[in-house]
Amino acid sequence: MNQKLWITALIAFINSLSFTILIPIIYLYGKQFNLSDFQTSLLFSTYSIAQFFATPVIGKLSDRFGRKPLLIISLAGTVIANLIAGTATTAGILFLARFLDGITGGNTSVAQAIISDVTTPENRAKGFGIYGAAFGLGFVLGPATSLLAQQISLGAAFLVSAVMALLALILTNFLLPETLPKKADKSQNIFDLGLGNLITGLAIPKIGVLLFINFFIGTTFTIFTYAFQPYFINVLDQNSQSLTLMFLLFGVLGVIMQTWGVAMLSRQFNIINILFLALLVRSLSFMLMPVWSNIIYFVVISILFSLFNSLVQPMINTLISLNAQPQEQGTAIGLNSSYLSISNGIGPVIAGLLIDQSYPQTYGYPLYLAGMLTFLVLLLAIFTQKRYTPQFKSR
């Protein structure tokens, strides 16, 4: 593997670290500005929806002007946004910072494009594996770093995140050369963002149904990822440090399952059956979590959930890759990312609307809903499996 790939993987790790430092503290940080649960859910959605619209723009601009300048701009946006958020004095400034981070948040898609630029087709899977491992490591160390930053303040976590993004920016500027072999034709209209592909993509044979299923998988998951936090804090009477430790636990178990667990299960089951099993356990876990307001019980259910939940996206991504034609791989991956981004914006809003701070029992409602909807997604996946089963047997 060439040096450009390893530099990109290092940048991906630091970028992932910067992002995951914030995940455990956004809800509580919003509470410091006297936001309601619904309003804090909008902090999550503002970022995701801005990113949904920005990603195709940044991707198209990177084809026109090169990967490096767009990666630098995107990382610079994260640095500035997190500096603003960490020093915000009003909720309006905090929302502005989250929007800025989302609208410039195309660094992941640009980094993935760099992987495609610097690897040969036969080495591409290995290249994305290295990239994914680096990104996954960030998901483990990010919450641990957040835990240290929180000893100062919640706002300090944003400032540490900004420093991490600045480090990635410096590495990009000085160590990463331009990787785009040929820039796009400048006669092309850069304002044609291809958003219509989100509709036409659903008609791609075998791919469209997987995009549809994954959109609902993403929505149900982000209902949980938002609702889990106020439930953990308000019902289980925990604090920001224990919440961060839960995210650290999720990250560690996810890495273990995706490295050893996938290989072990793949020897016994095919990809589709692993997906069905993972969705079933996810559904049951969501519905069991709020049954008993006990922290030990919740952690046990969360461990079971985390182990099997970490299988869902790898299986979906594998099915999309196996079913996409060689010339459709990039399009399919891009469409899948777009659908996941918009689902990330919808899920927290649904959860926030279901929670009424005057009635503590409502904190469990989004978890029950996520469980029921996940079960419906499982039924959809089962009844449509003939439409996305690969033509050849895969392990």
The DSSP string of 319-388 is HHHHHS-GGGHHHHHHHHHHHHHHHHHHHHHHHHHH--TT-GGGGGHHHHHHHHHHHHHHHHHHHTGGGT
Query: Taking the alpha carbons of 220, 23, 165, 10 in that order, is the dihedral positive or negative?
Result: negative
- Check residue 125 and give its pLDDT: 62
For residue 186, is pLDDT > 60? no
User: In the structure, what pLDDT confidence band is assigned to residue 261 with cuts at 50, 70 and 90?
Assistant: confident
- Proportion of the chain above pLDDT 90, given as a percent: 56
Q: Summarize pLDDT for 74-83 with one digit per residue, the tens.
A: 999 999 999 9
| 73-77, 251-255, 261-265, 329-333: segment of lowest average pLDDT | 329-333
For residue 192, is pLDDT > 70? no
- Check residue 248 and give its pLDDT: 92
User: In the structure, what pLDDT confidence band is assigned to residue 324 with cuts at 50, 70 and 90?
Assistant: confident
User: In the structure, what pLDDT confidence band is assigned to residue 196 with cuts at 50, 70 and 90?
Assistant: low
Is-contact 365 371, C-beta < 8 A? no
The model carries a pTM of 0.85
By CB neighbour count within 10 A (0-12 exposed, 13-18 middle, 19+ buried), where does 40 fall? buried
- Check residue 297 and give its pLDDT: 98
Is-contact 380 216, C-beta < 8 A? yes
- Check residue 328 and give its pLDDT: 66
User: In the structure, what pLDDT confidence band is assigned to residue 393 with cuts at 50, 70 and 90?
Assistant: very low
- Check residue 275 and give its pLDDT: 95
At 200, list the tokens.
């036409």
For residue 132, is pLDDT > 80? no
For CATH 1.20.1250.20, the residue range(s) in the chain are 1-177, 197-390
For residue 44, is pLDDT > 80? yes
Class of domain 1-177: mainly alpha
- Higher confidence at residue 187 or residue 95? 95
> DSSP string of 20-65?
HTTTTTHHHHHHHTT--HHHHHHHHHHHHHHHHHHHHHHHHHHHHH
- Check residue 82 and give its pLDDT: 97
How many CB atoms sit inside 10 A of residue 316's CB?
24
For residue 394, is pLDDT > 50? no
Is-contact 65 110, C-beta < 8 A? no
- Check residue 292 and give its pLDDT: 96
Q: Summarize pLDDT for 265-316 with one digit per residue, the tens.
A: 888 888 899 999 999 999 999 999 999 999 999 999 999 999 999 889 888 8
Is the CATH number 3.40.50.1000 carried by domain 197-390? no
At 379, list the tokens.
């039924």
